[in-house]
Structure 1
Amino acid sequence: MGKSLIPRAKYLMGAFFLYNSITDFDIDSVKNTFSSKGFSEPSIFRLGKLTLWLYKKQLINYDNFVLSNDDYSLFATGTVIYKNNTYQDSLLLLLKDFQTDCLEINKLKGAFCLFFFRQDHLYMLSDRTNIYHIFTNTKNTIFSSSFLAILNAQKTKAELNIDACLEQLLTGFVTPPDTIISGIEFYHNNCIKNFTNPNLTFLNQGQNDQINETFDFHNFDTAVEKQILNLKTYYSSISNFAIENKLDIGLSGGFDSRLNFLLSKYSLADTQTHTYISQDHITEAMIAEKLAAKFNVPLKKIKLNKAISKCEEELIYNFEDALFFYDGRTNFSMGTYNDVHTRKLRVSVLGSYKLGLNGLGGEIFRNREHLPSKINFLDWIRYVLMKPSTVYALKDKKQFEYMLYYILSKYKKLVNLDSTEFSNFSLYYARKLFNYIWIPYAAGIKNSAENQLSFFLMPFTDYMIGLNALKATPFIGIDGKFEAAMITELNEEVASITSSYGYRFNKIPFVSKIDSFIKCIIPIRIKYLRHIYHLQKLDRNIGASIFLPLLDKYHIINKIFKVLNATQIPINWNRIMLDKPNMERTLYLGYFLLRFNKKIDIGN
């Protein structure tokens, strides 16, 4: 592949690259990585025996560091809010409190990585949720907010981590400490003891502290009121920051964007909204218009073009844009080659609004999969976590048992679960895994991408918001009634606008409740087998013809398939392409391997 097709940004974007000053690495390749992302030259700081390359955000020209006169300094990436201050005041107060040893961790909001420099030594503090992603090499001599930068720092070809590739394809994301490249580790502050560098101290926010998980709400109404109170407090606590930067909020026809939109009013900030226009978004766009009109806020309508309608050059441009914007990583529904996941589109959306507020993670307030209170753990793995369409694509069915052990061994360490919790699996534990696994390591991919451009928050992913949402589990129900009640309590007029589900949130119809009840009582195993039956039927009747037109139309798709087939990943590529999200994720992975073929040994 040639040089990046993405034009260089006018301003700098938010990122860092930190290394032991004596470390030997491919400097030119690292610089080219950040250049391809749109970065200009970084500010470079010599910090004891470490060197830090620090980049500002692309669309914001604030300094993201504070240098004091008494040998104390602070460097920041991501989005950090401290004690309801503006960005720069947050940094100043953070450094002051660090100097006086009175840093109040529970007053931090956002997704970030902070570096405090004191007396020739560096200290690193990342957000408690682990939603701002950080990577390192196995020797822990290099750390970066960019996975691609660590990959390109290596002077020899890196091996593909087959297990992690399978995890990404099966679940949609990869959990720490692995990445899809052997020799690159995914940093997480739950297990900081696994990371060692004598010149760098990792500060712990207490993720593993004992947590009171008592279900302390007496009834449904009390539980709803408590969640709303927690959320109002959060949105109020970011008001000064939000007023300074102005809000951008995406609107759709579902629960989470509406809840986020209503709560954003407590930030008191100037707000714009946006929605997408395409054949697949007609209903959502109509709902977005009604929601924006209700509060008389501007609505940007962003036209999307399907990737398969593009010419070869346009498709490659999207691949290239999304590859660097999402840093070579993807999850189940984000970080692909579609317009909506490109940096070009996001820049056009933001304009002068510098703080994106996103509703990801709002699923914690409802039972999206209509799960019963007691769940067979293996069935949940096959149907909810891994998805039938990806399990069906495994070449060797014994691989499922191996991957089950591989993934769960990591989950146990990340969430501190024991075997009894898996044997007595329930809706609560499914929600717990969503909160402590999916939110940081799947949704966090989008957060890390967005934070390169401007400030970005996903309020429903806040550590304490998630913890308190788990306490409401007995009242969540088998559908979306709990979140619908929250929306109704906040504003019944807004709740009365018909959703993309076909009903109003302030009055869920009886037929929808019956439908949810039926979906809940059907055993997950039956749902799984039914899905497999339909996949087998689709495989027999259509098979490879579902993506053959792509091979005929695009040379780049042919190249991607040649690379995928050359790997040792035990996946039936024809079968995994039967499902659209799987197809998009697979092609993204293939383009990544093709683009960096000089850095990766794919094992052929």
Structure 2
Amino acid sequence: MGAFLLRERRDREPAADPPGHGLSLAKRVAGPDCELWLYRKANGGGGILYRVPGSHDFCAVVGTLVYDGLSGQAAARALFRDFDGRHAPYAKARGSYAVIACREGEWSLWTDQLGSYKVYADADTGAWSSSLLSLLDASPRRRLDTQGVYEYAFQGATYGDATVVDGIRLLPANGLYRPLARSFEAGPPWWSAAADYPSPRAALDACLGSAGRLASELVQASGGALDSALSGGYDSRLLLALLRAAGCTPRLHVYGAAQSADVRVALEIARRLQLTVEHTDKRRWRDPAARPLEAIVAENFERFDGLPTDGIFDHGADLATRMDRCADGRLMLNGGGGEIYRNFFYLPDRTFRPRELIWSFYSKYVPAFCSSYFDAAAYTGTLTAKLAATLGVSSRARLSRRDVERAYPAFRLRYWTGRNTSVNNRLGAACTPFSEPSLVAEALRIPVAWKHAGRFEAAMLARLDPELAACPSAYGHDFLHPPPWRRRLEEWLTRQRPPWLRRYSYRLQASLRNPLPDDCLAGRPRSEWLPAGRSTMACYFRLERINDAAVLARVASLEYLCRRYGLEPA
């Protein structure tokens, strides 16, 4: 399925079918207490609803689930067989998904263990959905969440359980939610408390073993119909190596200008290994149907559920390339998350406070872009509290180095990468293999010193596929040999920069950028893209001062959402 909407029944009359926002209705399930609408994916896939013969029990799967190596209806049947009505059955589950189940009249709802699949809740009105727009359709809520607005604009996603709309929250992960009782029972931690690996060889054996088993499951479940990127870095190449070892070469693509490092490296790898790579320069892409740009943006808004990571303003390349990836039922794989095998935050091997981690990576904001609504101390303090809550510690606690590593999957992958995975799952089958808890738990046991300068991930590649590892990279060296001294020195210097200083990096970069030309988005005045109405974002931002095109695109996407739904400032 591409999306779902679950609502409490508060009267006897059946509700009219709500809009699908670019997705067609596949199934409707009506019970005495709840009504459930299930929508197909944009590529026509979906329809996974297992009903127990001779009973009212059922299990619906939305997103992408591989269960015990099975997919589709077989996966839903096997999962429901293992569901005891009290605990979410995670042990055999892979993917990015939500499950809505009814056993003996009791409704249950849960997401994948990491929470990469987004489910929104408006508990006051008794509605839950994988679509923010679907909740807004029926919700009386019309006020923005100030923290959520600034997080989306500056970070590309909201963190914790808050969204950009006051009162609409994200469902918790790693546990079982009872919609009618409004109760959540958390499951055991997915991460391991085991000691660090005693040797690099032991770490390689464990990590390649778990990653290889997952790759084999994905190949089996998809029948080999897979799509993946190939770029100049580590992660897409490691994913390709794992799939090749599992007996499958996926359809490959690369995005960027012809002279960009990613494209040059991907095409060189393809030449050496006799592979085919589809190259698209999105900046030069134009809609074959020559539709008005307003129509393209309106479709992006619906298909991307309002607020994708990069916003909704482009000439149609983003949606078209995603649809191309999942054509013919292909499973879209995202190599993001391979940083679990590297030192993602570029921090030294010591303890840190949550605030220092926020300073190091989540201080991408410029007070001068904002109105008086913005309070930098409150913004940072709220993000710090969200990070601490995610890790289960106090905001003033000192994080162990393993907790710092855990922040990457639990905070970054769940909320930022997961947003993109959720959008892709509206279009077709999609998952991010390196965010699987089974892989993450193994990676957390790798000593940080082995991860510096990409050495451990390169060692994985070298053992798995030496021919692929020997190809050049965007780093200026291959992955078959140790990284050169210049690379090691550059990364060492980055690790020495203290967190209190790193928090000013983005502001310094912004001060050196030129203003954006004439208030434009994708070559057109912003006012021409937006529905009529007064500016709500002007309450939050000094729009004329924003000189980061990515931030401006997200602010304009927020404006589009506000005008479509009449959302007011907090």
Instruction: Please give the TM-score of this superposition, normalised by the length of structure 2.
Output: 0.88
* Contact preservation (8 Å) 1:47, 1:122: no
Give me the CA root mean square deviation: 3.5
Residues 306 and 492 (structure 1), Cα distance of their counterparts in 2 relative to 1, 3 Å cut: same
Structure 1's 81 and 217: CA in aligned 2 closer, same or farther, altered over 3 A?
same
Residue type matched to 1:48 in 2?
A: P
TM superposition shift of 1:308: 12
Q: Say if 2:521 is the partner of 1:584.
A: no
Map of 1:197 onto structure 2: 180
Q: Unpaired segments of 5 or more residues in structure 2?
A: none
Q: Is the 8 A contact 1:365 1:482 kept in 2?
A: yes
- How far residue 409 of structure 1 moved from its aligned partner, in angstroms, is 2.6
1:448 lines up with 2:418 in the alignment: no
Match of 1:15 in 2: 3
Query: 1:357-411 CA distances to partner (integer Å, 9 max, x unpaired)?
Result: 1111112211244322235754542341122x44553455981211222223333
Residue number in structure 2 paired with 1:485: 459
Taking the aligned partners of 1:377 and 1:45, their CA distance within structure 2 comes to: 44
The corresponding residue for 1:343 is 319
- Residue 416 of structure 1 corresponds to 392
1:19-30 alignment runs, 5 A limit: 19-22=7-10
Query: 2:18: which partner in 1?
Result: 31
Q: Which amino acid aligns with 2:543?
A: W
Q: Measure, in 2, the Cα distance between the counterparts of 1:224 and 1:169.
A: 39
Letter in 2 for 1:504: D
User: What CA deviation, in whole Å up to 9, does each residue of 1:286-333 have, x standing for no partner?
Assistant: 3223334555444222342269999996543443233223212233xx
Matches of residues 240-251 of structure 1 in structure 2 within 5 Å?
A: 240-243=220-223, 246-251=225-230
What percent of counterpart residues are identical?
A: 19
Question: 1:276: which partner in 2?
Answer: 255
- Corresponding residue of 1:226: 206
2:114·2:174 contact (CA, 8 Å) conserved in 1? no
1:162 aligned onto 2:146: yes
Partner of 1:457: 431
Provide Cα deviations, 1:458-515, integer angstroms capped at 9, x if missing partner: 1100112112212214334433222222222212221121111222122322222222
Are residue 132 (structure 1) and residue 117 (structure 2) matched?
yes
For residue 91 of structure 1, report the CA deviation from its aligned partner: 1.7
Moved more, 480-489 or 456-465: 480-489
Residue 181 of structure 1 pairs with residue 165 of structure 2: yes
- Correspondent of 1:260 among 239, 243, 250: 239
Within the candidate set 24, 29, 48, 1:45 is matched to 29
Name the counterpart of 1:6.
none
Give the structure 1 partner of residue 484 of structure 2: 509
In the alignment, is the contact (CA less than 8 A) between 2:112 and 2:174 conserved in 1? no
Q: Which amino acid aligns with 2:25?
A: E
* 2:300 equivalent in structure 1: 322
Moved more, 184-193 or 359-368: 184-193
Aligned twin of 2:132: 147
* 3-state SS, counterpart of residue 290 of structure 1: helix
User: Cα 1:312–1:159, aligned 2, differ >3 Å: closer, same or farther?
Assistant: farther
Native 8 Å contact 2:58 2:101 kept in 1 = yes
Contact 2:230–2:252 (CA under 8 A) maintained in structure 1:
yes
CA distance in 2, matches of 1:359, 1:146: 24
Q: Aligned residue for 1:601?
A: 568
Partners of 2:534 and 2:346 in 1: how far apart?
35
How many angstroms apart in 2 are the aligned matches of 1:309 and 1:234? 37
Task: Return the match for 2:497 from 514, 519, 522.
Answer: 522
Look up the equivalent residue of 1:136 and give its one-letter code: A
Match of 1:386 among 363, 367, 376: 363
Equivalent pair of 1:335/1:341 in contact (CA under 8 Å) = no
Q: 1:343 to 1:261 in 2, by over 3 A?
A: same
Q: 1:323 aligns to what SS in structure 2?
A: helix
SS in 2 for 1:52: strand
**Structure 1 residue 80: Cα displacement:** 1.0
Question: Are 1:95 and 2:77 counterparts?
Answer: no
Instruction: Kindly indicate whether the alpha-carbon contact (under 8 Å) linking 1:56 and 1:62 is maintained by their aligned counterparts in 2.
Output: yes
The structure where helix makes up a greater share of residues is 1
Partner of 1:286 in structure 2?
264
- Mapped to 2, the partners of 1:75 and 1:302 lie a distance apart of 36
Rounded to whole Å, the distance in 2 between the matches of 1:337 and 1:600 is 20
Say yes or no: does 1:404 pair with 2:376. Answer: no
Paired residues of 2:222 and 2:331 also in contact (CA < 8 A): yes
Paired residue secondary structure (1:84): coil
Q: Is the 8 A contact 2:539 2:569 kept in 1?
A: no
Query: What one-letter code is carried by the residue in structure 2 that aligns with 1:585?
Result: R
Matched, 1:554 2:529: no
Q: 1:354 aligns with which of 319, 322, 330?
A: 330
Identify if the C-alpha distance between structure 1 residues 455 and 268 changes in structure 2 by more than 3 Å, giving closer, same or farther: farther
Moved over 6 A (4+): 23-28, 99-103, 307-313, 561-564
2:552 alignment partner AA? M
**Aligned partner of residue 18 in structure 1, secondary structure:** strand
Q: Distance in 2 between matches of 1:551 and 1:67?
A: 48
Q: Secondary structure at the match of 2:69?
A: coil
Matched pairs, number: 567
Question: Which segment drifts farther, 228-237 or 249-258?
Answer: 228-237
CA–CA distance in structure 1, aligned partners of residues 567 and 110 of structure 2 = 31
For the pair 1:236 / 2:216, whether they are aligned, the reply is yes
CA contact (8 A) 1:371 1:478 kept: no
Q: Return the letter of the residue paired with 1:349.
A: R
- Structure 1 residues 150 and 46 mapped into 2: Cα distance closer, same or farther (>3 Å)? same
Contact 1:162 / 1:568 at 8 angstroms: preserved in 2?
A: no
User: Counterpart amino acid of 1:21?
Assistant: R
- Which amino acid letter does the alignment assign opposite residue 404 of structure 2? A
Q: Distance in 2 between matches of 1:282 and 1:563?
A: 40
- AA in 1 matched with 2:169: E
**In the superposition, relative to structure 1, how do residues 369 and 98 fare at CA in structure 2: closer, same or farther (>3 Å)?**
closer
Q: Is the 8 A contact 2:308 2:423 kept in 1?
A: no
CA drift of 1:158 comes to 0.8
Equivalents in 2 of 1:476, 1:404: separation in Å?
Answer: 31
8 Å contact kept, 2:45–2:329:
no
CA contact (8 A) 2:59 2:102 kept: yes
Give the distance between the partners of 1:562 and 1:427, measured in 2 at CA: 50
| Paired amino acid for 2:416 | A
In structure 2, the residue matched to 1:469 is 443
Is the CA contact (8 Å cut-off) linking 2:371 and 2:541 kept in structure 1? yes
CA contact (8 A) 1:125 1:202 kept: no
* 8 Å CA contact 1:151, 1:599 repeated in 2: no
